[in-house]
C-alpha cells in the first residue's frame, strides 16, 4: 500500500536539517524560525555561467541527470540574489558572518550589493581561492581563482584566526637565524631597523586572504561524490573553524554536494541546509550517513545530538513495485518510479509516524533484488525507494 511522507529522520548523520526547496521560497519559513540564530552562512550559488549542469554517470543514468540551470538573465539573477542575501542578514546572529563564494562574472556586482545590504563597514575580506585546475586560455591569462566575499553582521562578530593557524615548523624563513632558548625551544630571529623579531617553530602562521594551499578536487579524489561544482572539505573547514564554535548553527542555502553540512557535522556544529535539486538530497543523505558510520574523534555520547532530518514535499510520483516476504525479511524485486526505468540510488526500511519516516536500515548503494530485514515492533513496516533521478516513494509491507 502506497503512503506519503513529507520528511525522514535518521538517528545518525546530524545534527542538522536539510530542506528540499528553493532558497528564496524557503527563506520566509526559515526567518520565522531561525531569525537571529544562525552563526555562519556559506553560500555557493550559481555563478551566472549560462550553463546547464548535469551529474554524468553513464552506468547509473545514461545521458546524465539534470542538476540545475545557471542561465538566468543578469537582471533577474541580481534581483534573486538580493532577496537571498537580505534574508541571510535576517538569519544571522549579531556575532554571525556570511561567506559568499562566487567568481569573476558576478563578484563586483555582488560586492556592491553586499555593501548595501550589510554596510561597507561590515566588509571583512575578499578571499582569493587560487587553484591549478581548469582550462588553458591563450586569449587572456587563465582564470584560476574564485572569490569569497566575507561580511559580518555587526561589530560583535566572532572570528578566531588561531583556530585555522598552522605551526611555523623547523624551516627558517627570510634569512632568519636559528637558536635554541634556555627551555630547549627551537626558534628563529631577525633584526630589522634595530628591532629584534623572534619566532618559535611551534608558533602559529595564519592564512592570509589568498588561499593557494587548498587544492581543487581532482577527478579521482576520495571526497568526490559525483556532484558538479563540489568544493573540498578543507575549504569549508577553514571557514567553519574560523567563524563558528562547536554548537553554533551553520547554514548553506545552496547545499549541492553537501560539503558544508558534512564538515559542520564532523566539527560538532548543527547544520541548516537547503537545495532545490533532488540529487542534492540524495548526495547529502549518502554522504552524511557514510560519515556517521566512520570513526570520529568527537565524543558525543548523547545520540539525540546526531539526528539528521530531511524535509521535502510529499511526492506523488507514480510507483510500481514488486516484493515478497520470507521470514523476517522482505525482498524487493522490481521498482519503477515516475514511469522511468532508472536504477535505484537509495532504499530504506523502517516505520512512519504522522508523515515522518524513521528508517531502521538504509542501503546507500541499492541494487535489485534488494533484501531488507523487517524492523522490530508492531507498526507496519514501510519501505522507501529512490531512483537516480531523485524520484521517490514509500509503501507499506502488508
Q: Is residue 217 located within the same domain as residue 145?
A: yes
Is 353 a member of any domain? yes
Let me know whether 156 and 229 are in one domain. Answer: yes
Q: Residue 377's domain spans which residues?
A: 319-396
Classify residue 174: in a domain, yes or no.
yes
CATH of residue 381's domain is: 2.60.40
142-180 burial, b for 16+ CB within 10 Å, e for fewer? Answer: eebbbbbbbbbbeeebbeeeebbeeebeeebeeebeeee
Q: Are residues 340 and 213 in the same domain?
A: no
Q: What is the pLDDT of residues 241-291, one digit of tens each?
A: 999 999 999 999 999 999 999 999 999 999 999 999 999 999 999 999 999
What cell does 115 get? 555593501
pLDDT tens string 289-337: 999 876 554 445 454 469 999 999 998 889 999 999 988 999 999 999 9
DSSP element (H, E) containing 260: helix 259-266
378, pLDDT greater than 90: no
Lowest mean pLDDT among 22-26, 40-44, 225-229: 225-229
Backbone angles phi, psi at 368, to 5 degrees: -90, 145
Separation CA 20–CA 309 (nearest Å): 11
**Within this chain, do residues 240 and 336 fall inside the same structural domain, yes or no?**
no
Mean pLDDT, residues 180-191: 85
CA pair distance 374, 387, nearest whole angstrom: 22
**Same structural domain for residues 27 and 156?**
yes
What's the total number of domains in the chain? 3
Residue 221 domain-assigned (yes or no): yes
Amino acid at each position: 500500500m502506497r503512503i506519503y511522507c513529507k520528511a525522514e529522520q535518521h538517528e545518525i548523520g546530524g545534527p542538522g536539517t536539510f530542506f528540499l526547496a528553493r532558497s528564496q521560497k524557503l527563506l520566509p519559513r526559515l526567518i520565522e524560525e531561525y531569525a537571529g540564530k544562525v552563526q555562519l552562512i556559506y553560500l555557493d550559488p550559481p555563478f551566472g555561467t549560462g550553463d546547464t549542469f548535469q551529474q554524468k554517470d553513464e552506468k547509473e543514468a545514461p545521458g546524465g541527470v539534470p542538476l540545475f540551470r545557471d542561465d538566468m538573465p543578469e537582471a533577474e539573477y541580481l534581483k534573486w540574489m538580493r532577496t537571498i542575501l537580505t534574508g541571510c542578514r535576517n538569519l544571522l546572529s549579531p556575532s554571525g558572518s556570511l561567506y559568499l563564494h562566487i567568481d569573476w562574472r558576478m563578484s563586483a556586482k555582488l560586492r556592491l550589493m553586499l555593501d548595501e545590504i550589510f554596510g561597507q563597514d561590515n566588509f571583512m575580506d575578499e578571499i582569493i581561492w587560487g587553484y591549478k585546475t581548469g582550462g588553458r586560455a591563450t586569449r587572456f591569462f587563465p582564470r584560476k581563482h574564485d572569490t569569497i566575499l566575507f561580511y559580518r553582521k555587526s561589530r560583535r562578530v566572532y572570528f578566531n584566526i588561531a583556530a585555522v593557524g598552522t605551526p611555523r615548523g623547523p624551516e627558517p624563513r627570510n634569512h632568519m637565524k636559528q637558536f635554541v632558548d634556555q627551555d630547549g625551544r627551537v626558534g628563529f630571529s631577525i633584526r630589522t631597523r634595530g628591532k629584534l623579531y623572534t619566532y618559535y617553530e611551534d608558533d602559529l602562521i595564519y592564512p592570509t586572504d589568498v588561499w593557494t594551499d587548498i587544492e581543487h578536487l581532482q577527478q579521482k579524489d576520495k571526497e568526490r561524490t559525483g556532484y558538479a561544482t563540489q568544493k573540498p572539505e578543507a575549504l569549508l573547514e577553514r571557514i567553519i573553524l574560523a567563524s563558528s564554535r562547536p554548537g553554533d548553527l551553520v547554514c548553506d542555502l545552496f547545499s549541492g554536494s553537501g560539503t558544508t553540512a558534512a564538515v559542520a557535522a564532523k566539527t560538532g556544529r548543527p547544520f541548516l541546509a537547503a537545495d532545490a535539486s533532488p540529487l542534492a538530497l540524495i548526495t547529502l543523505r549518502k554522504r552524511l550517513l557514510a560519515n556517521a558510520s566512520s570513526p570520529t574523534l568527537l565524543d558525543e555520547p548523547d545520540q539525540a545530538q546526531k539526528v539528521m532530518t530531511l524535509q521535502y514535499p510529499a511526492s506523488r510520483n507514480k510507483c510500481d513495485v514488486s516484493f515478497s516476504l520470507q521470514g523476517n525479511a522482505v525482498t524487493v524485486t522490481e521498482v519503477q518510479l515516475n514511469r522511468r526505468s532508472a536504477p535505484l540510488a537509495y532504499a530504506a526500511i523502517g516505520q512512519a509516524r504522522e508523515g515522518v519516516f524513521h528508517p531502521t536500515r538504509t542501503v546507500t548503494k541499492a541494487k535489485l533484488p534488494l533484501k531488507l530485514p523487517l524492523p522490530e515492533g508492531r507498526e507496519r513496516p514501510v519501505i522507501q525507494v529512490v531512483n537516480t533521478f531523485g524520484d521517490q516513494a514509500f509503501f507499506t509491507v502488508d
